[in-house]
Amino acid sequence: MNPNEVIKLKTSPRRMRGALAFCLIVLSIFGLRLFQLQALDAPRLAAAAAENRTRTLILPAQRGEITDRNGAPLAITVDARDITVDQTMVTDPVATANAISQVTGADVATLIPELTGERRFNYVLKKITPEQWNKLKQLKLPGIFSEKTTKRIYPSNTLAASTIGFVGGEGKGLAGLEYGFESELAGSQGEVTVEISAGGRPLPSGIASEKKSVPGMGIRLTIDRDLQFVAEQSLAARVQFAQADSGTLVAISPKTGKILALATYPTFDANYPSEAQPGVTVNHALVDAYEPGSTAKVMTMAGLLNEGVANPATPFTIPPVLKRNGKTFHDSEPHPTLKLTMTGVLAKSSNIGTIQAAELMGAEKFNNYLTKFGVGQETGMQFPGESKGRLPKLEKWSGTSFPTFAFGQGYMVSAVQIASMYATIANDGVRMNPSLIEGYVMPNGEYQTSAPTTRTEVISAAAAKTLREMMEIVVSDEGTAPLAEIPGYRVAGKTGTAEVVDPICKCYSNEVIASFIGMAPAENPEIVVAVAIHKPQNGRWGGSLAGPVFKEVAQYSLKQLNIPPSNGKPTGYPVEW
């Protein structure tokens, strides 16, 4: 070493001071940064760290069950699993997708994008069965995990599907009672915040907070599952036989207003609503309104009997045609002048005779009876999208409204409404608002019955009894519905062949709705069944198309209810004078 260099180092305090200053500056920077991290940024950084190592999981509420009147399950909730993935851990997305597909049946092409990427958490497949998850877990696929969830299933598949409705992928009701009673059925979901490992698994000891879910309440329907099955099978067979567009059936207990069966056809499997044909998921017996046609003539007769302006034997001379306010009215079949009693007018379903009879009480009183029977009124059933029908206000009636309304054209009702009107006649003139909900099962298991239905006296018991006796003639060889007769039981009813309005021309088309509504036993009715076959191609008349469906369903119901056969015989009012 050069001695001069040593001497220079020893005599260079400037360099030493510079080095010291540099070290102090660096230490100050580190100190400031440390102060920033530990004092100023500590809360923010702690929150970020907590967010990275915790996850808030939803605790789904157990959705309430929907059952029939006897507790038989129609819609239940079962345990299920959602498959999740940490994409950074998946080494071979294609092989993983194939493995998941083999167990679950899911499409491989749909799975691959969900497995590929850099996301630490992603849903791959939702609502698989616990059995499927156990099989997947045994494969030990890297990055594949699961979460507990629930799945809605419908054990009877198509049974009462348009009434019950269905839920969507997120578990919320999308149609029918599932939609209409969403808040009652759904309950309140909870949540839990947990710490997770690097692989995305919740740490058992890492629960930070938890809010428990509250189960939804169950709903017990008035529907009887066995009767519903018979109704659906019978209706489907007849719609297919008639080559019709669709059909509806309503079976109701007249003394309570409770609906025992509510069928529509075509139908669908509520477990697979996405596969249903357009319009099939709608409950047409409640949502659609149509002109009832001749089945509504019983309301005209009810008013006449209650007012005392006519009786079963009141004579009417029925001309071939009838003119009122510039319009010519006809009966369904051409005929010469007829001499019919009011019973005969009903038995032969004469439009002309019904107009003549209605004129005995006048438009204002007739309108009052239509309103009291429930035409244009809400039923109070709380079914989503339910139609209340249509009845123009009296002051808006045209010159031909009264005669047209008298035989069931010009105003509209739903299938449930017209069934309720017949139930009123069956229940000695007292209208019980139709109901579909028997009661509720609270989350704690307590059962609460529904509020009592509203009672409205429409006509007297005497008038109702007389009208039922007149309606028995319809279900005989002298009437239009001999195919609706039930051996051993007296049956009262009425046929209808209502013309369908073409929405384009706003005129009546050649298509019809063939219907029959009846009750049994006629002397003390326990069941009312309303059947409508929409736009049949094979056949046209309500007695021949809808009558046999009534017979099959009513006969089954009478046996189910243990109703003894009738003792007496029909009164046998004269048809002609």
pLDDT (tens place) for every residue of the chain, 577 residues total: 455 554 444 546 777 777 777 777 777 777 676 666 566 666 665 555 555 566 677 777 889 999 999 999 999 999 999 999 999 999 999 999 999 999 999 999 999 999 999 998 899 999 999 999 999 999 999 999 998 888 999 999 999 999 999 999 888 999 999 999 999 999 888 887 777 665 555 555 555 567 888 899 999 999 999 999 999 999 999 999 999 999 999 999 999 999 999 999 999 999 999 999 999 999 999 999 999 999 999 999 999 999 999 999 999 999 999 999 999 999 989 999 999 999 999 999 999 999 999 999 999 999 999 999 999 998 888 899 999 999 999 999 999 999 999 999 999 999 999 999 999 999 999 999 999 999 999 999 999 999 888 899 999 999 999 999 999 999 998 889 999 999 999 999 999 999 998 878 878 888 999 999 999 999 999 999 999 999 999 999 999 999 999 999 999 999 999 999 998 888 889 999 9
C-alpha to C-alpha distance for 270 and 20, rounded to whole angstroms: 81
CB 346 within 8 A of CB 473: yes
Asked if residue 173 is part of any domain, the answer here is: no
Cα–Cα distances (Å) from 474 to 291, 309, 576, in that order, read 21, 22, 14
- On whether the pTM is more than 0.95, the answer is no
Does the residue 66 lie in any domain? Answer: no
Do the Cβ atoms of 417 and 386 come closer than 8 Å? no
Distance CA 310, CA 304 (A): 6
From residue 185, how far is each of 172, 216, 286, 385, 529 by CA, in Å? 9, 5, 21, 18, 30
Amino acid 7: pLDDT: 46
pLDDT at residue number 489: 97
Return the structure tokens found at 388.
């209340």
pLDDT of residue 337: 97
Catalytic positions: 294
- The answer to whether position 147 is within a domain reads no
Q: Is residue 171 part of a domain?
A: no
CB-facing half-sphere around the CA of 23: CA atoms within 13 A: 6
Q: Report pLDDT for 63.
A: 94
Ramachandran angles phi, psi of 520, nearest 5°: -155, 150
Cis peptide before 266 (omega within 30 of 0): yes
Q: In whole angstroms, what is the distance from residue 203 CA to residue 194 CA?
A: 7
Q: Which pLDDT belongs to residue 9? A: 46
- 209 domain residue, yes or no: no
Q: Is residue 364 part of a domain?
A: yes
Q: What is the pLDDT of residue 208?
A: 58
Whether 209 contacts 308, CB under 8 Å: no
Residue 426 lies in a domain: yes
CB-based contacts of 188, cutoff 8 Å, min separation 6: 61, 213, 214
Token couple for 227? 């009767």
pLDDT at position 201: 58
In a domain, 208, yes or no: no
Q: What total of structural domains would you count in the chain?
A: 1
Structural domain range at position 477: 225-437+451-560
Beta-bridge mates of residue 457: 430
We report the CATH number of the domain holding residue 386 as 3.40.710.10
Give the pLDDT score at 18: 74
* Burial (Cβ within 10 Å: 0-12, 13-18, ≥19) of residue 496: buried
Q: Where are the alpha helices (DSSP H) in 36-151?
A: 42-53, 93-104, 108-115, 130-139
Quote the CA–CA distance of 284 and 141 in Å, as a whole number.
Answer: 48
Half-sphere exposure (Cβ direction) of 36: Cα atoms closer than 13 Å: 6
